[in-house]
Structure 1
């Protein structure tokens, strides 16, 4: 019975929550404690605040439930609220506007982060500012509320923070550089919010040293299809980032992109910005080798068309086609010229001959031992 009621309350059934509170108040069915975290780690007050049930909030507060009671993550009902009127009600009863939960987040952090895919709650931001909500408290990750807004691409929230106090911009810049905290453009762009990134940079917030390099390398080797990924790569390159930068292993951006099956458009973009098709890493491997390792047929065709060397040998004296595992798959994909297909067959034949010789030599050596 209780599990059914709890589930309905979590789904937002107001009447179920109302009946539970009324039954307790009238002593029909008494809950052991209104302060217990009986609804999936939350108290009834947290749930009422989350769903904006003002009448239920008033009732619970009148039943002496602490307005700043904590849920399983150390958050108050104010921090779980999602609308201005609910926040106003809780603040009227004395809710602590700058309380930090177990992760160090305040209500302002939570509103700045908001709900993914939903508009920024600007009215809630304005209310928290007016009640002394601090824009300068950082959570345990070192993030200010404005950083949370950048992660979600909420440039309107960021602008509101800037306008909330004197020298906010100066403070945020100083905070990012003095602490091991990513810049606002980095957080926005790494989470796929290109327009927010452009807005930030146009308003004087720049990427920290080497953040652009880290972003570019991450974008081309990340398998997730993040929003605006291709456009973000183009934006970084258009702003002067060297397309031939390499990571610690000597892999260029093109090397990394070549390892991804769905990277054709990014590879085309990199090549259009002057990516060196025959650049080698510390193992003597070119991007063409990586397309072979990943069975990236379309990427290989693109590189070959752009002048990738088929004769180049790595540090182990192997060419890219020496690493082809299933020649028939490459031929049957149907995107290579007859000349390339013939070359693939030749390499496959050579590997077969080498294998036969190796086996024969082993048999010969074994016979000599006996």
Structure 2
């Protein structure tokens, strides 16, 4: 039988009846297509089946990017046998990182079941968790979090000074800002915002800590949310029951507490609510920053500042 090569432009053909089988990791896969993919790999030129092209891509990278699950699984089996399952392309991405970026949770699960390194990082230091959090892919992130049980150190890896939780918070704020600009009417942005907030939730459930600070700015996720006026994320974070909530709320980032940052949200429609929320959770208005300013000193001048200040400080 001659099987078309799915790494080329044409899509993977349906060769025969669809028959699902349960593999060892519990995910459904088409048994016929998997066997055909194995046949294809076994008959392929050895260099093409196991080597890397001018961009550093293996056949596994290519199949993964195209979402060709059975082909990717067969290629992963071959490369695993050669100790090259985590080969990196020119940007430092392993097939796992490509699968995450392509939002392919089933392929992510397959690769993890075959032993790929969940802590592998690209040239920017980004792991699978960083990328899933950045793009806001809850399916990929859920699969990844399930596979870090007992290995939570990957939740605290830094890429460009940020943990995956910081990436998730920043990404959510970007989408919320776009949603606000659209007049809150864009359904696709609403869905994306919800997905990104669920990524924050998953990371916290997996063991990420709210107390983690960015390396460069010392900001926590609360600082990041307040700085962007992200009321949805601020509400979410301040509802989390912490025994040390007051200490968390009053943490400093280069001298500024979250309350200082909220006071600087001049013109933001959510400024007063954010101030009220922070104060209700123990924010201390007497704390001074490195310039010796209390939060009240950073409020906008004029009537608007007075309207915010009177009920809040």
TM-score interval for Structure 1 and Structure 2 normalised by the shorter chain: 0.5 to 0.7
Separation of aligned partners in 2, 1:124 and 1:70: 21
Residues 191-226 of structure 1: CA distance to partner in whole angstroms, max 9, x if unpaired? Answer: 334433334433444356546952222222236x5x
Contact 1:151–1:188 (CA<8 Å) still a contact in 2?
Answer: yes
Select the residue among 218, 221, 227 that pairs with 1:221.
Answer: 227
Contact 2:275–2:312 (CA<8 Å) still a contact in 1?
Answer: no
Distance of aligned partners of 1:181 and 1:74 in 2 relative to their CA distance in 1, 3 Å threshold: farther
Aligned to 2:209: 206
Select the residue among 137, 144, 149 that pairs with 1:169.
Answer: 149
Deviation at 1:300, TM superposition (A): 3.8
Structure 2 segments unaligned to the other structure (5+ residues): 1-5, 14-36, 173-195
Distance of aligned partners of 1:179 and 1:245 in 2 relative to their CA distance in 1, 3 Å threshold: closer
Determine which structure has more spread, i.e. the larger CA radius of gyration.
1
| Root-mean-square deviation (Å) | 4.4
Q: Which has the higher contact order (CA 8 A, sep 6+)?
A: 2
Select the residue among 96, 121, 125 that pairs with 1:108.
Answer: 96
TM-score (norm 2): 0.58
Separation of aligned partners in 2, 1:229 and 1:107: 32
Separation of aligned partners in 1, 2:242 and 2:149: 26
SS in 1 for 2:262: helix
TM-score (norm 1): 0.50
Deviation at 1:137, TM superposition (A): 2.6
Contact 2:100–2:140 (CA<8 Å) still a contact in 1?
Answer: yes
Contact 1:258–1:299 (CA<8 Å) still a contact in 2?
Answer: no
Separation of aligned partners in 2, 1:127 and 1:199: 20
Residues 343-365 of structure 1: CA distance to partner in whole angstroms, max 9, x if unpaired? Answer: xxxxxxxxxxxxxxxxxxxxxxx
Distance of aligned partners of 1:246 and 1:169 in 2 relative to their CA distance in 1, 3 Å threshold: same
User: Are residue 271 (structure 1) and residue 274 (structure 2) matched?
Assistant: no
SS in 1 for 2:151: helix
Residues 66-117 of structure 1: CA distance to partner in whole angstroms, max 9, x if unpaired? Answer: 35554658574234222424535766997964221223211111223444xx
Contact 1:251–1:281 (CA<8 Å) still a contact in 2?
Answer: yes
Contact 1:81–1:87 (CA<8 Å) still a contact in 2?
Answer: no
Contact 2:264–2:298 (CA<8 Å) still a contact in 1?
Answer: yes
Contact 2:222–2:234 (CA<8 Å) still a contact in 1?
Answer: no
Distance of aligned partners of 1:236 and 1:230 in 2 relative to their CA distance in 1, 3 Å threshold: same
